[in-house]
Amino acid sequence: MKNLVFAGLAGWVLLMTMASYAFAGDEGQGADLYLQDVQPMTTMECARCHYSAFVDIRDQGGLHQQPCTDCHQVYHNFKPSVPMKDKLPQCADCHDAPHGDLFVGCLGCHTNAHAPVTSLIGVDKLAKDCEACHGEQQSEIKEFPSAHAEILCSDCHHSRHGNRPSCNECHEDVHTPYIDTEKCVACHAPHSPLEVTYGEETPSKLCSGCHEEVLEALTGSSKKHSVLQCAFCHVEKHGNIPACQDCHESGPHNESMIKKFTGCQDCHGAAHVLKLQ
């Protein structure tokens, strides 16, 4: 390491001299020339010779938009006995293993250190490893069987890593008019689409696409239930059925009267209509 730094330094000084000659011009005369302080090369100066590295970082560097020498503390060691890998920075100089012990060959996926995210290999190549990094989504899709468990992660998340597909790419004819994916995922989590949940504000017209008759019965009634939204009574999860007592306890009636009947519906009929029997 010591040798390396020394050699790096020697190379650097050599280059500095070249560079100040090339860039700064000769400011002093005779011995004065050598009385000036030697300044380390700036990123702009590296860029003159390493233009493509500069452009990569400028356009695609993301959080790697740092001065060259933050990463390249040792460089221009042209000694043939020093292997190239010792002349270049290692990811591990600055990063621990962010994806765990399984993924240590960083450049195998982040193929250009100067464009660490945009140079990622394609989803087809990542496909075998989705699960290792996204265990949560993998467990969810396994735990709640649906047709979505039968297709690959990369069938939906196609084209590039991190792409979020819209539902209507595959579902043209749906029970409710397609507006945007956000509206669909308000009821269907994409990795467990049959576990339908929804908020209290969900408008009844989203239910009536499949329960037309119920909506008609409800709105056709003159009773006070007719102004309530489906989701006000059938809370949270598709298929939830409330008991009358959840909202009314025993209503205006005394408990001993109620005990004589199997339920409130014996007299009030179905909840949607409330037609006295």
Of 99-158, binders to ligand HEC (CB under 6 A) are 99, 103-110, 113-114, 116-117, 120, 123, 126-127, 129-131, 133-134, 137-138, 141, 146-148, 151, 153-157
Contact criterion met (CB below 8 Å) for 31 and 84: no
Tokens 């250190």 label which residue?
Answer: 113
Contact criterion met (CB below 8 Å) for 231 and 200: yes
Q: What is the largest CA-CA distance in the chain?
A: 117
Residue number with CB closer to ligand HEC (27 or 172): 172
Residue number with CB closer to ligand HEC (32 or 261): 261
Non-local (6+) Cβ contacts of 152 within 8 A are 127
**Which residues in the 182-211 window bind ligand HEC by CB under 6 A?**
183-188, 190-191, 193-194, 196, 198, 202, 204, 206-211
**R_g of the chain computed on alpha carbons:** 34
Contact letters for ligand HEC, residues 62-101 (x by CB under 6 A): xxx-x-xxxxx--xxx---------xxx-x-xxx-xxx--
Size of the site for ligand HEC (CB under 6 A): 138
Amino acid at 202: T
Residue 245 structure tokens: 């007592």
| 20 is an interface residue for ligand HEC by CB under 6 A | no
Closest distance between ligand HEC and the C-beta of residue 125, in Å? 8
Closest distance between ligand HEC and the C-beta of residue 31, in Å? 25
Distance linking the first and last C-alpha atoms of the chain: 93
Residue number with CB closer to ligand HEC (32 or 38): 38
Q: Taking CB positions, which residue lies at the least distance from ligand HEC?
A: 62
Contact letters for ligand HEC, residues 213-252 (x by CB under 6 A): -xx--x----xxx--x-xxxxx---xx-xx-xxxxx-xxx
**Which residues in the 41-60 window bind ligand HEC by CB under 6 A?**
41, 43, 45-50, 53-54, 57
Residue 175 structure tokens: 């029970």
> How far apart are the C-alpha atoms of 110 and 90, rounded to whole Å?
13
Contact criterion met (CB below 8 Å) for 140 and 191: yes
* Cα 24 to Cα 20, 43, 60, 180, distances in angstroms: 5, 15, 30, 58
Closest distance between ligand HEC and the C-beta of residue 10, in Å? 12
Closest distance between ligand HEC and the C-beta of residue 2, in Å? 17
Contact criterion met (CB below 8 Å) for 166 and 180: yes
